[in-house]
A and B are shown apart, each in its own frame.
Chain A
Amino acid sequence: MPLKKVIETKKLSRVFKNGEIEVHALTDVDMVIEEGEFVAIMGASGSGKSTLLHIIGCLDRATSGEYDLDGVRVNTLNKNQLADVRNQKIGFIFQSYNLLSRTTALENVELPLIYDRTGRFSNSKELAKKALEQVDLADRIYHKTNELSGGQQQRVAIARALVNNPALILADEPTGNLDSKASIDIADLFVQLNNKGKTIVMITHEPEIAQFAKRMLYLRDGRIISDKIIENRSTKAFAMKELEKPITP
């Protein structure tokens, strides 16, 4: 049975123009990601990882090329339609969390539901609580952003990305600001979500975090130079043990 394609791009390119200078951040990216995949994107700094994820997440537009998301031709949509796609189909997780300050975890998680136009959610508070339970923050729902640790803030951001039940979860260096232990917890959380059927695309610089995924894309100078299935995936237990190993000189 052929799996449903969640992402399909053809010759996707992104050129930044800064006066005279042109930066080719992405060049002719062809990529297919199917339902239920867990993809890690790696590559050197400046290789175009974030640019690619932003375009996939409809936060930015490609300069040229085609992009289908969940069967919708995204590159022809107007601004409002793109906003609705972001609201209904995508949960985006940032390295710097991007939570609203002075706002409780619950209110932050509720936010995507406020902008929902389909009317498919009846009790946004309950849904937000459930999402926070999923990320193991049931006891922190009334804490404000500044009263949470970095790992907890990232989990609030993940709950926010989950709450509208999106087809796709995108994460740009979700563990970039966290220590190893918190990073492993987040990676494990992604594995659990993936096991429940969520499609996940995650950028990371850390090979041991990438190892939790099922598939790895490697970018260089705006092109995909390698695409392989990850064998012997990491688990939380394994990564924790590795962590405790004494550093051999």
Chain B
Amino acid sequence: MRRFLKIFKVAFKSINKNRTRSLLTMLGIIIGVAAVIMTISAGEGATLQVENQISGLGTNLLMIQTKSEHKAGINVRMGRPIDEKDFDMLQKNSVWMPQLSPLVAIGAQAIGPSGYKSTMVYGVSYDYFYITSRAIESGSFFTEDDVRTAKKYCVIGETIREELFPGEDPIGQQIRIDKVPFTVIGLLTEEGSGGMQDMDDIIIAPYTTVQNRLYGHQRGYTMIMASALSEDHIADAEMEATELLRESHKIKDEDEDDFEIMTQIELQEITGNITGILTILLGAVASISLLVGGIGIMNIMLVSVTERTREIGTRLAIGARESDILTQFLIEAVVLSLVGGLLGVLFGIIGNQIIYKATSFYIPTAIYSILIGFGFAAFVGVTFGYFPARKAAKLNPIDALRYE
């Protein structure tokens, strides 16, 4: 035990005497570990966020749209537009979709008493609030009557309120959307800004009003949104909608649909794939940073091998045993990796926090990223700190002293 303490002191002195080398070694480990933690956590954060956004889209959601095709990276609408006739037909005949709402989306400029903002205006029916399960903070939704009579009412999100009515109660106030005056009757409960898409940067108005006043002379809806009776019936609802629309569109058996239906489940699958790819990409970035950190450490170690081999030769010459040398270098490697690894974890977590503060993109620090980072630190430290020393300690003292 006393011997071990002595060797421990030797190792610490050695770390301290070669401060530059020690710091550079640790720097490599710190960068590697921090990079791994930050990239893996970013992947986890993105996945979490996308999942939240999808489940936040609504309950048992179905979206019925005109068929579109990718052409040179652009979505081109192919079939006949989904319109009022389809909506009425579905509402009359559907068994599995108790809630249905048209959605007419346009980008518009909203002007309030003390500010303006470009935003998305969604024209919907009353059911929209149920389908998307959005709640009201103050004021109220518009009613089915308001929709039928195309009242110039709107419900706004928190982001819009901040821009148009800073520090004010917006309820009952007038705003202009593309020059058309609307009365604000409700304020949506904040969803929390979701990084990729701000769910509160939104104005909701009766679709009738939006179509008549803002939509110009375009035919049809952007989509029909529907809610299936329950999660188990999403597939039934999809089948039903397909059959009803094929029938009313008079599509022959051998022809394809001229519309497409996206369900929440499919959406989850697609985004699951995307975030999977994202995680793989970030993983690749992380491995590269590990490699870079590792090569940095390797360089420092190789450069110092000559000097250290002579040091080992000196120690052997004055009577150190091979095990004394190995203990010393193992302690040095472990201490450097441990301190570097801990600092790396610290910087990784701080980095995540900084990104969170700066972009409000929430990054949970994944525990397994800390484990991977630490494993890497230990591996690199021992591989590049210990094994060259082991080789040198096995030499004849005189060969170690003469090493060049």
- A residues lining the B interface (CB < 8 Å): 54, 57, 59-61, 79-80, 83-88, 92, 94, 98-103, 107, 111-112, 114-117, 160, 164
Contacts and interface: CB of A to CB of B under 8 A. Distances in A.
Interface of B: 3, 6-7, 10, 13, 17-18, 307, 310-311, 313-324, 396-398, 401
A115 B18 contact: no
Contacts of B10: 114
Given A59-B397, A114-B10, A92 B18 contact: no
Contacts of B315: 111, 115
A102 B304 CA distance: 14
A59 B319 contact: no
20 contacts: A54-B398, A61-B396, A83-B316, A83-B319, A86-B317, A87-B319, A88-B319, A92-B317, A101-B17, A103-B13, A111-B315, A111-B318, A114-B6, A114-B7, A114-B10, A114-B320, A115-B315, A115-B319, A160-B318, A164-B319
A164 B319 CA distance: 11
Contact of A83 (B18, B310, B322): B322
B322 A59 contact: no
For the complex of A and B, list the 10 residue pairs with the smallest distance between their C-beta atoms, beginning with the closest. Answer: A87-B319, A59-B398, A86-B319, A102-B17, A59-B397, A83-B321, A112-B318, A115-B320, A98-B314, A60-B398
B396 A60 contact: yes
Contacts of B314: 98-100
Contacts of B17: 101-103
B321 A80 contact: yes
Contacts of A80: 321-323
Helix, strand, loop or mixed for chain B's interface? helix
Nearest to B320: A115
Contacts of B13: 103, 107
Contacts of A57: 317
A117 B3 CA distance: 8
Contacts of B310: 98
A88 B320 CA distance: 11
Contacts of B397: 59-60, 86
A59 B396 contact: yes
B11 to A, nearest CB: 11
A204 B398 CA distance: 19
A160 B319 CA distance: 12
Contacts of B321: 79-80, 83-84, 115
Contact of A112 (B3, B7, B307, B319): B319
A107 to B, nearest CB: 7
Nearest to A81: B321
A147 to B, nearest CB: 14
Nearest to A51: B398
In the complex, which of the residues A61, A92, A103 has the most CB atoms of chain B within 10 Å of its own CB atom? A92
Contacts of B7: 114
B319 A84 contact: yes
A98 B401 contact: yes
A57 B313 CA distance: 13
B7 to A, nearest CB: 8
Contacts of B313: 98
Nearest to A124: B6
B317 A59 contact: yes
In the complex, which of the residues A84, A101, A164 has the most CB atoms of chain B within 10 Å of its own CB atom? A101
Nearest to B10: A114
Nearest to A54: B398
A59 B315 CA distance: 11
A130 B315 CA distance: 21
In the complex, which of the residues B3, B6, B316, B319 has the most CB atoms of chain A within 10 Å of its own CB atom? B319
